[in-house]
Amino acid sequence: MNPRGTLFMLVLLAGLGAFWYFHDVKGAQVREETREKEERLFPGLEAADLESLRLVDSKDPDGPALLLEKEGGRWLIRGEQDLLASQDDLSTLTGQVSTLRRESVIAETPAEQDLAQYGLDKPRRRLEIGTAKGAQTLLLGDRTPDDRSYYARTSQTGPVLEVDSMFMTILEKPVQDLREKSPMPWDPSKVERIVLKPAEGPEIVLAKEPASQVEGETSALGSTERWRLEAPIQAQADPGKVSEFLWSWKSLAAGRFLGTSEKVDFSKPALTIEVSVAGAGAPLKLEVGPRVQVKPGMVYLRRSAPEERLVVDLVEREEQLLGHTAEDFVDRHLLAFSEDQVDRIEVALGQEKLVARRIRGSWDVREPAEVVKDESVRKAAVSDLLYDALDLQWASRGSEADVASLANPRATLRFLDKTGEVLGTLLIGSVRAGGGVWVGSQSSGPVFLLEEDPLEGFRACLQRLKVPSPGASASPAGPPPEP
């Protein structure tokens, strides 16, 4: 075949492939997104744009309108006393309102006398949607016969539409059900600073490191967050422990809210927690007050702002929620990178060696030379060894005199990235006379004590890679002799 003709055909095929991808695949996606936005009741409205929602019920003209406003990143229920709204509910609601679509157009230009059949001659409800760019209104009439939608208009002269009724589920909740039940309403991943003030002992300050300082870095167990202890000691904090602390508080739910007439003394809180989120203004403040006498484990809690008082059950987690010290947050992992950063592993365990490199989602084992052929077995064995190494956490720090215990390590593990740069080196030293084993990341660096020797687990992973010796799994020759 003519080389020029072959080249022309290849170029033509590549062009046709690119056209198919951008027109049929990417183009279809763009067209679907465009169509979806065109069908929205409020084109261009995004959930993040919403600043207020006001629902007026015309059948209860003397009753107060439900007014929800966003302030400092938090949604509040406005009234004689401002209340914190359920942030999860409002996140769902704002998403539903911003993407609200017309299910169908019932009447493009309805006559005034025809509006009564839709309940739109005197709309039962009016939803006022406030944004920084202005306000928009949704008039709601009767439900459709199948009870799945409302008849609605976006103005007094607009067409009659059908809109899905799902978004009203949250707005129809009683105010007490719409309140934020969790003491800590923030998504833990958005928290940037924590200050713990116990009744006794020093203040504990934890701060998330800016993303620019940790770009491309992750913690030992894969989290992209990095936290530091700023007081009373300065040290790297374990992001897993910080996240667990925040989620423990978020998972609690108020048993009830206290009325304005109920008196509780918060002058000497057992613990004060201040949680800061970017763009949220003043930090959220939680004060743990006295215990509820009628039931063990229950405490009074004051949250601000807005100030609210609630009762929560610590459900046998008092130490986890209230008893933290700075040392509890210290990152004790010996290695500070994630599993997916590792491209090459080099292990020397006495006479045994392992050299493995990541290839196409699996591991290519160079040493030992004879390994099992089952790729899933090889992948699992190497991955387990890597994860076990990353999961190691020291129990205590050694002294300068203990450095000699790493002079002749019993095992050395090196982990490298794609560029060949060493991510970390782990040295397993001698066993301590009083129990435990000395470890370090370099021969002259700090020494730490592990409570349990990890070598047995590492050897087990290496053993899984080896080809069984001939006859190792053979059955005994012949049946056992009869008695």
pTM here is 0.78
Phi-psi region of 235 (alpha: psi -120 to 50; beta: other; left: phi over 0): beta
For 366-414, the DSSP string reads EESSSB-S-HHHHHHHHHHHHHHHHT-B-SEE--GGGGGGGSS-SEEEE
pLDDT tens digits, one per residue of 418-449? 999 999 999 999 999 889 999 998 766 789 99
The stretch 452-468 carries a mean pLDDT of 92
Task: Using the predicted structure, report yes or no on whether residue 122 has a pLDDT greater than 80.
Answer: yes
pLDDT tens digits, one per residue of 356-372? 999 988 999 999 988 99
Q: Residue 4: pLDDT band by 50, 70, 90 thresholds?
A: low
* pLDDT computed for residue 22 by the predictor: 61
Q: Residue 221: pLDDT band by 50, 70, 90 thresholds?
A: very low
* pLDDT computed for residue 320 by the predictor: 84
CA 97/CA 170 separation, integer angstroms: 11
Residues 163, 218 contacting (CB under 8 angstroms):
no
Sheet containing strand 254-257, edge to edge, reads 235-237, 227-231, 204-208, 191-198, 271-277, 284-291, 298-304, 308-313, 254-257
Task: Using the predicted structure, report yes or no on whether residue 38 has a pLDDT greater than 80.
Answer: no
Q: Which residue has the higher pLDDT, 253 or 1?
A: 253
Q: Which residue has the higher pLDDT, 260 or 221?
A: 260
187 DSSP assignment: -
Average pLDDT over the chain reads 87
What separation in angstroms does the CA of 42 have from each of 32, 47, 223, 298, 470? 17, 11, 38, 46, 73
Task: Using the predicted structure, report yes or no on whether residue 350 has a pLDDT greater than 70.
Answer: yes
